[in-house]
Structure 1
Amino acid sequence: MAETITSRARGAASTRAAASPLSRWHYVVALALGALNTLSFAPTPHGGWLELAIFAVLYAWLLRTGGWKSAALTGGAFGFGNLVTGVWWLYVSMHHYGEMAAPLAGAALILFSLYLALYPALSAGLWSLCAGHASSAARDDRPFSPSWYGAFAFASAWALGEWLRGTVFTGFPWLASGYAQMDGPFSGFAAIGGVYAVGWVLALTAALVVQSAYACLARSRSRRVALLPVCVALLLVAAGMLLSRVSWTRPNDAPLRVRILQGNVKQEMKFDEAGVRAALDLYERMITARAADLIVTPETAIPLLPQQFPETFARTLRTFADTTGSSLLLGTFGATVTPEGRFTDETNSFFGVTPNARQLYRYDKHHLVPFGEFVPLGFHWFVRLMNIPLGDLARGAPVQKAFTVRNETIDVDICYEDIFGEEIARRLREAATPAGILVNASNLAWFGNTIALDQHLQMARMRTLETGRPLVAATNTGMTAVIDAQGRVTARLQPFTTGQIETQVQGMTGRTPYITVGNDLVLAASLVLLALGFVFGSRRARR
């Protein structure tokens, strides 16, 4: 592939870099740029365009580095700035609700953000090794010159780093770059390769824009060298917009009449005896207020085992379902009952009541929250610093039976399970009858009135684009919403209010490419491109 900057311009840049090594301000700027990138995500409207500009600046800033070490530090600084400002609401969870001392909660947030920043650091370092830069000490002080190798290596290394962050140690893909593109130019690629593919296209486009800009600044004599990268970038923008108009799935049967309940039970009283009694009374009234094809409550709306339900409460729900033809999905806890009558292996569960059917449907949460729902090995001391009940739960199977309402199949997940798109795609891919509607139940009261609510809704919207299916989100305090198969929020309740959404939800059938291949497409492409960049880019650098 052709270089985009002349040897004379590159040599001058190398001389300047050798004379002026990177200062600490280079990394401070990278950190500030990462913090600015948090504004690309919800609740900022159309933040995808802002993110594209920020990634272009990030790539240009990486070009100033002279080797993989300085590149990794730059990427790590960017990642830390983005993540510590983007997930600060974890402090609210640990300190305000978990009752952890403020200094310890603040330190835990910083340490966790530093850990998460290792992944963008890895991406930047890997990019530097695969972008055609020699690894010898003699060349380690020379800045990168943008090239086709470098652009594709940047996109591939970035996508691979984000995938690793969403996978290693159960994963934490919050603030993956593709989410900010929900209302941006690249959301159409979600149905092709998921959120990581969206991030891949974002990074490639930003790098190509910078490549053209550098060629223009170097006054390249070849118009093709200067214009071709930006033309490809514009084609990617146009392709993303056109793909967002493609319907990969089609309506299936008649829509369901759905009621979604938001109880707004305060977190600090949720597990108290008085709070449990209040929740029983509240949800009994809300459930039995009107009939619907499907009535959905939030996660752990009733923080008891079904065996502990008051008899009058259980009988009332059963009678209501049988007489009105309403199906219920009730968030509660599950357990295994031993022959001695003891409860073991508690689970975060959903129980479904079907009219005139004695057997309850049950879904047990599979992807548990570290420290909140299970304790990683060696960290029990950390959980003891917090006052969070049921911190060590059992997990359900990766693929479980779906819930059926009339002729529609419902795929259920709980809390932040819906930020793992590959797991939802796998259930739809392996199911004998793929679900037509997605249902997520959450309790985001742990995070107070913070940006976590908007961010979680944004990620739920991405799941609808990846799968071509609508999603019903039932939460305790917000965001309770209905999202159609095109990612549009069609109904939403105000946070921290008691209320319900009553609407019709159209189930869909068919497969998007992402349901078929999951993350395999973007991972395979990234690994191949990184390998090619490492081999051919290194040869070019030696020449």
Structure 2
Amino acid sequence: MPAPVFGALLTLSFAPYDYCYFALIALVFFYLFCMVQPAARAALCGYLFGLGLFGFGIWWVYISIHDFGGADPISSGLLALLLVSIWALFPAITAYFSAKLLAMKGVWFRLLAVGLVWVAVEYFRGYWLLNGFPWLQVAYGQLNTPLAGYAPVVGVYGMGFLLAVSAALLAEAWRVRTLRLPGVLMLCAIWGGGGLLQGVNWTNAIGSPIKVTLVQGNIAQDQKWQNDQMLNTLRLYLRLTEQHWDSDVIIWPETAIPAFLAEVKDFYLDPLSAKAREKGVDLVVGLPSNGVGNDYYNSVITLGETEAIYHKHHLLPFGEYLPLQPLSGWVLDQLQIPLGNFALGGARQSLLKAGGYPFVTTICYEDAFGELMSRQVGQAAYLVNVTNDGWFGNTSQPYQHMQMAQMRALETGRYLLRATNTGLTGFVGPNGKILAQAPLFTTTTLTSTIIPMAGLTPYARWGDRAVFGGLILLVGMVWSLVRYAGR
């Protein structure tokens, strides 16, 4: 089977397909490519693997560019192809260095080193390059496997490392008969250890249950920002909210209000906040807000007993700001694709509070960054994510995004409340499992109870940098042993 097929096979390990063990199979063949070919040819196979992975996995960017960005089909297809072609470079880089490492001495060093290379490249792609694009990182497809037990300990990158090492070990054992018994024992230790860790409760309840209602307005993306629809939208959210004044907290999605804070404060938000105080309810509402001068923010406000605001910190490239200026701006101007240019919220904003407890706020794809949540979660009793995935239609993207949110709940040992415009709205437990979920493209509300939590998982205490530091130290120690034994 050619490399692109195995890349596509890896995509099937993610939601909504959830064939989680396909990831292990795909990576075994990825490492076999790297073992039997020179580094340059392995890189080519890695690139083809990446084309299959991203071509099948993020094709939905075409929907955003064409259906909602207004670009013509040819331009939309070319831009989508360009993005897939760029992201496919990262499996190529991984394959190149893996081939180099797999030709070195010391089998255990080789296996650990290629695992480290895999997640190091994922980290660069997912956190640093163009503000990060962490989609289709291999660990997200492992929420229903024993490896999920490692998430509260080493996070998504530690899980990815263990999956990559497992695949490289199987590939090596396939080729080297004498490695099969120790390989099986090592795999049992890795996967069995994860299964045992799933029984550990890293955090604890600190209060009575909180009744929460999530509102899914289901405002069509092509109608959302039309001026003649704004009052209808405001009435809809008010009507859905008034049905749940018996809840402790009510959460609206990202930019639920299609107008700036200053434009709706006096006639809509102030009366709504007064009503919430009267009913003893806290509201969490997403909307854009003005800053200093011409700056504007993607924001979340709380109304009711406590009024405060959070501005989105980790912005979406090419959606909320334009990187690589002036080139990107010129290209988009030629294609006549209108995109926002939001200002950046502060990195150390105070936590918002609702239901009597502070919570970590993330807007849209901020929930894709574990370290962003872990640095604040020590003071928070639960997590809130407000999102609008309406840009991507009825595709795999909303399911992939929910899967990433599940990982954040599991890493931090907190309930996660996720309110979205068109879906998937849902409640996620501290074990990363979906407790309740609203269907896509339905105007509805979802009500459940959560328990405020305290305590820190090892991952929330350490963060990604410590995880990578530990992995580098481990690989370095094994390399030192290999060199010493070779003398």
TM over 0.5: same fold?
yes
Structure 1 residue corresponding to 2:362, chosen from 399, 405, 413: 413
Aligned to 1:21: none
Look up the SS of the partner of 2:445 in the other structure. Answer: strand
Unaligned runs of 5+ in 2: none
Q: 1:179 to 1:446 in 2, by over 3 A?
A: same
Aligned to 2:288: 333
Letter in 2 for 1:58: F
1:54 correspondence with 2:26 = yes
In structure 2, how many angstroms separate the alpha carbons of the residues matched to 1:110 and 1:526? 34
Aligned to 2:115: 155
Residue by residue over 1:2-46, the C-alpha shift from the partner in whole angstroms, topping out at 9 and shown as x without a partner, is xxxxxxxxxxxxxxxxxxxxxxxxxx811211011111100123x
- Aligned residues between the structures: 483
Aligned positions of 1:300-319 closer than 5 A: 300-309=255-264, 311-319=266-274
Aligned to 2:230: 276
Measured after TM superposition, the shift of residue 315 of structure 1 is: 4.1
In structure 2, how many angstroms separate the alpha carbons of the residues matched to 1:421 and 1:189? 14
1:211 correspondence with 2:166 = no
Aligned to 2:410: 465
In structure 2, how many angstroms separate the alpha carbons of the residues matched to 1:103 and 1:509? 51
Aligned to 1:439: 384
Look up the SS of the partner of 1:183 in the other structure. Answer: coil
In structure 2, how many angstroms separate the alpha carbons of the residues matched to 1:438 and 1:278? 30
Look up the SS of the partner of 1:518 in the other structure. Answer: helix
Q: 1:444 to 1:406 in 2, by over 3 A?
A: closer
Aligned to 1:194: 155
Unaligned runs of 5+ in 1: 1-27, 135-145, 338-342
Q: Which runs of 4+ in 1 moved over 6 A?
A: 532-540
Aligned to 1:255: 209
Q: 1:446 to 1:507 in 2, by over 3 A?
A: same
Measured after TM superposition, the shift of residue 483 of structure 1 is: 0.3
In structure 2, how many angstroms separate the alpha carbons of the residues matched to 1:172 and 1:195? 14
8 Å Cα contact 1:440/1:473 also seen in 2: yes
Structure 1 residue corresponding to 2:329, chosen from 363, 380, 398: 380
Letter in 2 for 1:384: D
Q: Which moved more, 1:29-38 or 1:515-524?
A: 515-524
In structure 2, how many angstroms separate the alpha carbons of the residues matched to 1:537 and 1:103? 54
Aligned to 2:429: 484
Aligned to 1:242: 196
Structure 2 residue corresponding to 1:178, chosen from 125, 139, 142: 139
8 Å Cα contact 1:132/1:539 also seen in 2: no
What percentage of residue pairs aligned between the two structures are identical? 34
Residue by residue over 1:349-381, the C-alpha shift from the partner in whole angstroms, topping out at 9 and shown as x without a partner, is 0111132x5xx3100001111111001122112
Look up the SS of the partner of 2:119 in the other structure. Answer: helix
Structure 1 residue corresponding to 2:76, chosen from 99, 102, 105: 105
8 Å Cα contact 2:33/2:42 also seen in 1: no
8 Å Cα contact 1:262/1:475 also seen in 2: yes
Q: TM-score scaled to structure 1, two decimals?
A: 0.85
Q: 1:388 to 1:410 in 2, by over 3 A?
A: farther
Aligned positions of 1:498-509 closer than 5 A: 498-509=443-454
Measured after TM superposition, the shift of residue 422 of structure 1 is: 1.0
In structure 2, how many angstroms separate the alpha carbons of the residues matched to 1:171 and 1:537? 35
Aligned to 2:301: 351
8 Å Cα contact 2:297/2:312 also seen in 1: yes
Aligned to 1:79: 50
8 Å Cα contact 1:48/1:185 also seen in 2: no
Q: 1:536 to 1:161 in 2, by over 3 A?
A: farther
Q: 1:70 to 1:522 in 2, by over 3 A?
A: farther
Q: TM-score scaled to structure 2, two decimals?
A: 0.94
8 Å Cα contact 1:49/1:185 also seen in 2: no
Structure 1 residue corresponding to 2:311, chosen from 351, 364, 382: 364
Q: Which moved more, 1:361-370 or 1:111-120?
A: 111-120
Measured after TM superposition, the shift of residue 238 of structure 1 is: 0.6
Larger Rg: 1
8 Å Cα contact 1:162/1:173 also seen in 2: yes
Measured after TM superposition, the shift of residue 232 of structure 1 is: 0.5
Measured after TM superposition, the shift of residue 61 of structure 1 is: 2.5
8 Å Cα contact 2:71/2:337 also seen in 1: no
Measured after TM superposition, the shift of residue 124 of structure 1 is: 1.9
In structure 2, how many angstroms separate the alpha carbons of the residues matched to 1:239 and 1:413? 31
1:119 correspondence with 2:90 = yes
Look up the SS of the partner of 1:166 in the other structure. Answer: helix
Residue by residue over 1:435-472, the C-alpha shift from the partner in whole angstroms, topping out at 9 and shown as x without a partner, is 11100000000000100011011110000111000100
Look up the SS of the partner of 2:88 in the other structure. Answer: helix
Q: Which moved more, 1:415-424 or 1:305-314?
A: 305-314
Letter in 2 for 1:169: L
In structure 2, how many angstroms separate the alpha carbons of the residues matched to 1:401 and 1:465? 23
Cα RMSD over matched residues?
A: 2.2
Structure 2 residue corresponding to 1:265, chosen from 219, 222, 232: 219
8 Å Cα contact 1:133/1:538 also seen in 2: no
Letter in 2 for 1:418: D
In structure 2, how many angstroms separate the alpha carbons of the residues matched to 1:299 and 1:336? 18
Aligned to 2:125: 165
Aligned to 2:6: 33
Q: 1:388 to 1:466 in 2, by over 3 A?
A: farther
Q: Which moved more, 1:57-66 or 1:360-369?
A: 57-66
In structure 2, how many angstroms separate the alpha carbons of the residues matched to 1:497 and 1:230? 47
In structure 2, how many angstroms separate the alpha carbons of the residues matched to 1:94 and 1:533? 47
Letter in 2 for 1:348: N
